[in-house]
Amino acid sequence: MTTTEPLIVPNFGDEDETDRKLVIICSKGNLDMAYPGLVLANAALGEGIAVDLFFTFWGFDMITKNRQAHLKFSPVGNTAMHLPTGGRMPQWLSPFPGMTWVATKMMRKQIDDLGIPPVDEFLDQIVASGGRLWACRMSADMQGLTMEDLRDDVEDIITAADFMDLSEGAQTLFI
C-alpha cells in the first residue's frame, strides 16, 4: 500500500552544534592493520566528523615516504588465515620463505578489486577530505626519522603531551 506523506528531507546534521571529533591512533605497520584506521577515518570525514590520525611505533611505516607503499601482510601467528581453496592455513606453513610475499600480493589484489586505494593514496584522500596527520615524537626519535622522511602533509611530530591537547573531547580509537 502506498501512502502520501508530507515532504521529508533527510537530516544531514548541518545544524548540529556538537563538534564530533575522532582521533585514531595507528600503531601497526602491517598491511592488514593499516586499513581499519584508514577506512574509519575516511568514513568519519564523509559524515562531517573532524578526524586526526596519530601515527606511533610501527604505524610510522604508513606515513614514511619510502615505506608507505611497501607494507606487508604476514600470515605468521594469524590463526584466522584461510586458504582460497577452503580450510585453515596450517601454522607450520606460514613462516616458509615466500609466504609473506604471496600473502601480501593476494591481499593487495583483494583490496584493489574492491576499489579501495593503496595506503599512500588512501592517506591522500583522507587529507583531501580534511583529515590531519600527526607523528609521534618518541617513535621518530627511536627510528631516527625526521619530518624530511615523512609525507609532506604530516602536520608535525608531536609529544605525548601534545597528543593530550589534540585528543581533548575526542572519541579515541587505538589500532
Partner 1 sequence: MSTTSLIGREVHVDAEGFLTEFDEWDEALGAELAAQIGVAMTDDHWALIRFLRADYAETGQTATTRRVATVGGVPVKQQFELFPKKPGKKMAYVAGLPKPAGCV
What track of x and - describes contact with partner 1 for positions 111 through 140 (by CB under 8 A)?
A: ---xxxx----x--x--xxx----------
Cβ partners under 8 Å of residue 149, min gap 6: 64, 65, 66
Looking up cell 537530516 gives: 11
Q: In the sheet where 132-136 sits, what is the strand order?
A: 154-158, 132-136, 50-55, 21-26, 171-174
Beta bridge partners of 156: 134
| Residues 39-98 within binding reach of partner 1 (CB under 8 A) | 39, 42-43, 46-48
Query: Using the rule CB under 8 A, is 4 a contact of partner 1?
Result: yes
Query: Using the rule CB under 8 A, is 109 a contact of partner 1?
Result: no
Residue number with CB closer to partner 1 (1 or 161) = 1
Beta bridge partners of 134: 54, 156
Of 120, 108, 25, 19, the closest CA to residue 69 belongs to: 120
Residue number with CB closer to partner 1 (13 or 95) = 13
| Residues 17-46 within binding reach of partner 1 (CB under 8 A) | 39, 42-43, 46
Judged by the rule CB under 8 A, the positions of this chain that interact with partner 1 are: 1-14, 39, 42-43, 46-48, 114-117, 122, 125, 128-130
